[in-house]
Amino acid sequence: TSFASRSDLNKCFIENAVEIPESYDARETIGECKMKIIDQNKKCASSYATTVASTLSEKMCMESNEKTLRPLSAQELLSCDTANKGCRGGYVNNALEYSVIRGLTTEECLPFTGTMDAKCSDMCAEPMKERAESFCVLFGETDIKREILKSGPIISSMEVYVDFLTYKSGVYSKNEDVPKFSGLHTIKIVGWGVEDGSEEEPNKGNKYWIIENSWGEDWGLNGYAKISAGQNFFFEQYAYSILTKKEAEEMKQNIQRKQKVQED
């Protein structure tokens, strides 16, 4: 998959006043709105679809008064989004734009198969849709962390080295001698932390990111991974935030407020 099909995407406006803690895990704050780990199917390059659908599901739940989680259909992005290539991969921004313009129906209405066997016409007769209001691009570690603190998990992409496939535990560091796959793989960033332990341990104090993968709960740390920070992975510099209607309005007001201060 690929991160973006074009460069003219909206940049997120982030409040500089947000103080970043040493460690943070969004899974501990979103509670009942946390989606289950998806297994995307090894024969289908669908990480862009599963990650967008999962993240939007969580965002809509977090904004709702009832905090009701309604899993949205990743299969719709595979079967209905003609701007991407289904199981042959796609651009994350195209999937996000689909979720803004057309919205996503529920998993119940069009269940995930991780194949191209399911057709868009297989959708239930009266699909309920959830739509993102908009999305924006985050640049750099600081803004990425501030947005996770404020709004929850975000979406990015990463390079995949062969040894990442067999990751089981601990903090992963890429090995430059190990080959990597072409293209990028879409992930969800949920937090960051610092390795603890005794003073004698060489990795004590090593900073890491917490990412959610889409290779099932049997992979890694029940579907998650800790990745050593500062390795120049793509996701350390670029990410997407999905904006709900409330968040988009808040961002608009903050931009207008900043512009007024500059004019004054």
User: Can you give the pLDDT of all 264 residues of the chain as single tens digits?
Assistant: 899 999 999 999 988 878 999 999 999 999 999 999 999 988 899 999 999 999 999 999 999 989 999 999 999 999 999 999 999 999 999 999 999 999 999 999 999 999 999 999 999 999 999 999 999 999 999 999 999 999 999 999 999 999 999 999 999 999 889 999 999 999 999 999 999 865 555 677 899 999 999 999 999 999 999 999 999 999 999 999 999 999 999 888 888 877 777 776
Quote the Cα angle for 164-170-172, to 5°: 35
- Residue 33 tokens read as 């709105």
In terms of phi and psi (left: phi > 0; alpha: psi -120 to 50; beta: otherwise), the region of 19 is beta
* Residues contacting residue 49 through CB under 8 Å, at least 6 positions apart: 74, 75, 77, 78, 81, 84, 90, 95
d(CA 18, CA 185): 29
The type of residue at 225 is A
Q: List the structure tokens of 133.
A: 């209001």
- Quote the CA–CA distance of 172 and 182 in Å, as a whole number: 19
Burial 59-77 (b: 16+ CB within 10 A, else e): bbbbbeeeeebebbbbbbb
DSSP 20-38: PPS-EETHHHHGGGPPPPP
Quote the pLDDT of residue 199.
Answer: 56
Helix/strand/coil for 217: coil
Tell me 239's DSSP state: E
What is the b/e burial string over 167-189, where b = at least 16 CB atoms within 10 angstroms of the residue's CB? beeebbebeeeeeeeeebbbbbb
CA dist 71 and 170 (Å) reads: 30
Spot the catalytic one: 84, 94, 185, 206: 185
How many CB atoms within 10 Å of residue 205?
A: 11
SS3 254: helix
Please confirm, yes or no, whether 213 is among the known catalytic residues: yes
Tokens of 112: 């995930």
**Whether 185 is catalytic:** yes
Query: Of residues 213, 222, 232, 254, which has the active-site annotation?
Result: 213
**The pLDDT of residue 218:** 96
* Overall pTM surpassing 0.85 (yes/no): yes
